[in-house]
C-alpha cells in the first residue's frame, strides 16, 4: 500500500484536540474577565487614594507613544495569540515549500520518499493566506499602529514624525498591492508544485523532472526575495513600526523552518506506525534530525545577532525590542525560556549520532521545538499588542485550535496523494539506498 488513509480515528483525535482547545480558550477568557474586574477595582481604589494629592503627572506604559496609553483588552489578547499562530502556520508551510525547492535544485535524492509530507504541508498556505487577509481587512487598526490617520496630522497632538517619514512605504494601498503579489506568488507556486508532483506520479517523464528544477529555482527566488521578506516586514515587523531589524526575515523563516522539520519527523513516525514508508529508515531520520539541529543553531545565531548589532552599532532606538520583552513580570520568563528550549536543548540532545537515529528522542525533541518556536512567534507579535503580558491559558487554547486546523489540512492533503513515497521519481532508488 502506497497511499495514506485519513482514518476516522485520527480525525476524531484532531476533533477532540480542537474541542479541548476551545474549552481551554473559554476558561482562559473567563479567568481573564475575573482578572480585569479585580484590576479595575484596584485601579479605582488607587485613584480614590491619590485624589487628594495629585502630582500632575500621568503614568503610562513604556510602550506608549506620544502621550497616549495603549489599552490592554481581551480583544487585544485574543488577537495577539491567534494572529501570531496564523503567522506561525503560514511560515511553517512556506518553509516546506522552500525545502522541496532547495532539495530538488540541489539534485537531492535522500528526501524523495518523504517529499510528499512537506508538499501536503504547503496546502496550509492557502488556508492561512485567507485567514490573514481577513485579519488585514477587519483588524488592521488593531494590528498596525501606522494605519491610524491621526498620526500623520501635524495639527494633532498625536502626530508621529517617525511614522510620517516612513509613510511612503507604510500605507495601505502599497500594503494591499504587495499582499496581492504574495498571494499570487505563494499560492501559484504551491499549486504548480502540487500539479507537477501529481503528474509525475501518474505519467512520469524526464520533462516533468526538468520542469521541477525550473520550478525550484523560481520558488527559491520568490520565497527568499518576495514572499518571506515583504511578508515579514509588512505582517510582523510593522506591528512595532518604530523598530526595525535587517535580520527579521531570516529570523522568522528560520523559526518556521525548524518547526517544519519537527512536524515532518512526527508525520514520518506516524506513517511508519501505519505500515507506510517501509524503506524510510534511521538514515533518513538522521538527516531530518541533522536539519533540526542545524537550523536550531542558525536560529540562535540570528537571535544573538540582532542583539549584537544593536549593541555593537550603538543603536538605542532599536533597544525597545528587548526592553519590551525582558521584564519578568510581562514576557521575561518566556523570552529567556526560548533560549533554553530552542537552543540549549537541541544542542545538547541532538548533537550525538545516536539521538538523531532514535525515534523516541526525535519525537520528544520535535514536540519541544514546536512549543519553543510557538513561544518565539508569540514574542514577535505579543509585546507590541499587549505590553503588560498576555501569554497564558488563552495562548494554549489558541495553539490547540490552530494546531488542529494545521494538522487536519496537512493529513487531509496527504491522503489525496496518489504515490506517497514518489516511487516514479528518477532518484527514488537513491533514496531507498540512502546511508550515512
Please choose, from the candidates 393, 353, 121, 360, the residue with its C-alpha nearest in 3D space to the C-alpha of residue 259. 121
Segment 96-108 mean pLDDT: 96
Segment 40-55 mean pLDDT: 45
Q: What pLDDT score does 418 carry? A: 92
Q: Which DSSP state fits 390?
A: -
At residue 248, does pLDDT exceed 50?
A: yes
At residue 64, does pLDDT exceed 80?
A: no
At residue 38, does pLDDT exceed 60?
A: no
Q: What pLDDT score does 37 carry? A: 63
**Do residues 261 and 100 touch, judged by C-beta distance below 8 A?**
no
Listed by start position, the domains of the chain span 8-26+72-417
Look up residue 283 and give its three cell numbers.
Answer: 538514515
Q: What pLDDT score does 436 carry? A: 87
At residue 46, does pLDDT exceed 60?
A: no
Q: What confidence category does residue 321 fall into, taking pLDDT thresholds of 50, 70 and 90? A: confident
Quote the CA–CA distance of 110 and 283 in Å, as a whole number.
9
Look up residue 248 and give its three cell numbers.
Answer: 527579521
Look up residue 16 and give its three cell numbers.
Answer: 477532540
At residue 63, does pLDDT exceed 80?
A: no
Quote the CA–CA distance of 282 and 288 in Å, as a whole number.
10
Residue bearing the bigger pLDDT, 365 or 318: 365
At residue 422, does pLDDT exceed 80?
A: yes
Q: What pLDDT score does 47 carry? A: 40
Quote the CA–CA distance of 156 and 151 in Å, as a whole number.
7
Segment 31-37 mean pLDDT: 76
Q: What pLDDT score does 70 carry? A: 63
Count CB atoms within 10 A of the CB of residue 180: 11
At 278-299, the pLDDT tens digits run: 999 999 999 999 999 999 999 9
**Do residues 267 and 360 touch, judged by C-beta distance below 8 A?**
no
At residue 168, does pLDDT exceed 90?
A: yes
CA 171 to each of CA 49, 146, 166, 167, 333: distance values in angstroms, whole numbers, following the listed order: 45, 8, 9, 6, 35
Percent of the chain at pLDDT exceeding 90: 81
* Burial call 74-108: b when 16+ CB within 10 Å, e when fewer: eebbbbbbbbbbbbbbbbbbbbbbbbbbebbbeeb
At residue 160, does pLDDT exceed 60?
A: yes
Backbone angles phi, psi at 65, to 5 degrees: -125, 140
DSSP structure string for 28-93? HHHHHHHHHHHHHHHHHHHHHHHGGG--S-----TT-BTTB-----HHHHHHHHHHHHHHHHHHHH
Say how far residue 347 (Cα) sits from the centre of its chain. Answer: 21
Please choose, from the candidates 156, 166, 86, the residue with its C-alpha nearest in 3D space to the C-alpha of residue 128. 86
At 185-220, the pLDDT tens digits run: 999 999 999 999 999 999 999 999 999 999 999 999
User: Rounded to two decimals, what is the model's pTM?
Assistant: 0.92
Q: Mean of the per-residue pLDDT values for the chain? A: 91
Query: CA angle, corner 105, sides to 99 and 111, nearest 5?
Result: 50
Segment 392-408 mean pLDDT: 97
Backbone angles phi, psi at 106, to 5 degrees: -90, 10
Q: What pLDDT score does 389 carry? A: 83
Q: What pLDDT score does 3 carry? A: 94
Quote the CA–CA distance of 351 and 293 in Å, as a whole number.
7
Q: What pLDDT score does 108 carry? A: 93
At residue 384, does pLDDT exceed 80?
A: yes
Residues ≥6 apart with Cβ < 8 Å to 266: 363, 366, 367
Q: What confidence category does residue 69 fall into, taking pLDDT thresholds of 50, 70 and 90? A: low
Q: What pLDDT score does 307 carry? A: 84
Q: What confidence category does residue 54 fall into, taking pLDDT thresholds of 50, 70 and 90? A: very low
Q: What pLDDT score does 313 carry? A: 82
Segment 369-373 mean pLDDT: 98
Q: What pLDDT score does 324 carry? A: 79
Q: Which DSSP state fits 392?
A: S
DSSP structure string for 189-253? HHHHHHHHHHHHHHS--HHHHHHHHHHHHHHHHHIIIIIHHHHIIIIIGGGSTT---TTHHHHHH
| Lowest pLDDT segment from 44-48, 142-146, 320-324 | 44-48
**What sign has the CA pseudo-torsion 342, 344, 345, 351?**
positive
Q: What pLDDT score does 182 carry? A: 97
Amino acid at each position: 500500500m502506497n497511499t495514506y488513509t485519513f482514518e476516522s480515528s485520527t480525525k476524531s483525535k484532531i476533533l477532540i484536540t480542537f474541542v479541548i482547545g476551545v474549552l481551554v480558550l473559554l476558561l482562559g477568557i473567563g479567568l481573564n474577565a475575573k482578572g480585569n474586574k479585580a484590576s479595575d477595582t484596584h485601579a479605582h481604589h488607587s485613584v480614590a487614594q491619590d485624589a487628594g494629592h495629585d502630582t500632575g503627572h500621568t503614568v503610562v506604559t513604556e510602550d506608549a507613544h506620544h502621550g497616549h496609553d495603549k489599552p490592554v483588552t481581551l480583544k487585544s489578547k485574543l488577537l495577539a495569540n491567534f494572529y501570531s499562530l496564523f503567522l506561525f502556520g503560514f511560515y511553517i508551510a512556506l518553509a516546506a515549500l522552500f525545502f522541496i525547492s532547495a532539495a530538488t535544485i540541489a539534485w537531492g535524492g535522500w528526501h524523495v520518499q518523504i517529499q510528499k509530507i512537506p508538499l501536503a504541508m504547503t496546502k496550509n498556505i492557502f488556508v492561512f493566506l485567507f485567514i490573514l487577509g481577513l485579519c488585514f481587512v477587519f483588524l488592521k487598526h488593531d494590528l498596525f499602529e501606522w494605519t491610524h490617520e491621526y498620526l500623520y496630522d501635524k495639527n494633532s497632538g498625536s502626530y508621529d514624525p517617525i511614522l510620517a517619514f516612513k509613510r511612503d512605504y507604510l500605507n495601505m494601498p502599497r500594503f494591499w498591492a504587495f499582499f496581492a503579489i504574495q498571494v499570487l506568488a505563494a499560492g501559484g507556486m504551491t499549486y504548480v508544485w502540487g500539479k507537477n508532483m501529481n503528474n509525475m506520479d501518474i505519467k512520469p517523464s524526464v520533462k516533468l523532472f526538468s520542469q521541477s528544477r525550473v520550478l525550484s529555482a523560481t520558488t527559491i527566488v520568490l520565497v527568499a526575495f518576495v514572499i518571506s521578506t515583504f511578508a515579514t516586514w509588512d505582517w510582523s515587523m510593522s506591528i512595532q513600526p518604530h523598530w526595525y531589524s535587517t535580520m527579521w526575515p531570516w529570523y522568522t523563516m528560520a523559526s518556521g523552518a525548524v518547526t517544519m522539520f519537527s512536524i515532518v519527523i512526527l508525520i514520518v513516525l506516524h506513517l511508519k506506525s501505519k505500515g507506510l514508508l517501509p524503506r524510510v529508515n534511521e538514515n533518513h531520520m538522521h538527516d531530518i534530525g541533522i536539519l533540526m539541529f542545524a537550523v536550531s543553531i542558525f536560529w540562535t545565531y540570528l537571535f544573538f545577532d540582532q542583539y549584537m548589532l544593536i549593541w555593537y552599532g550603538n543603536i538605542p532606538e532599536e533597544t525597545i525590542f528587548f526592553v519590551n520583552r525582558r521584564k519578568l513580570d510581562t514576557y521575561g520568563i518566556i523570552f529567556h525560556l526560548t533560549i533554553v528550549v530552542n537552543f540549549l536543548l537541541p544542542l545538547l540532545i541532538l548533537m550525538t549520532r545516536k539521538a538523531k537515529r532514535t525515534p523516541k528522542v526525535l519525537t520528544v525533541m520535535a514536540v519541544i521545538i514546536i512549543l519553543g518556536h510557538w513561544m518565539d512567534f508569540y514574542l514577535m507579535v505579543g509585546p507590541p499588542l499587549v505590553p503588560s503580558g498576555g501569554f497564558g491559558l488563552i495562548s494554549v487554547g489558541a495553539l490547540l485550535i490552530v494546531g488542529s486546523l494545521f494538522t487536519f489540512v496537512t493529513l487531509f492533503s496527504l491522503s489525496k496523494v496518489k504515490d506517497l513515497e514518489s516511487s516514479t521519481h528518477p532518484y527514488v532508488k537513491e533514496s531507498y539506498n540512502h546511508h550515512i
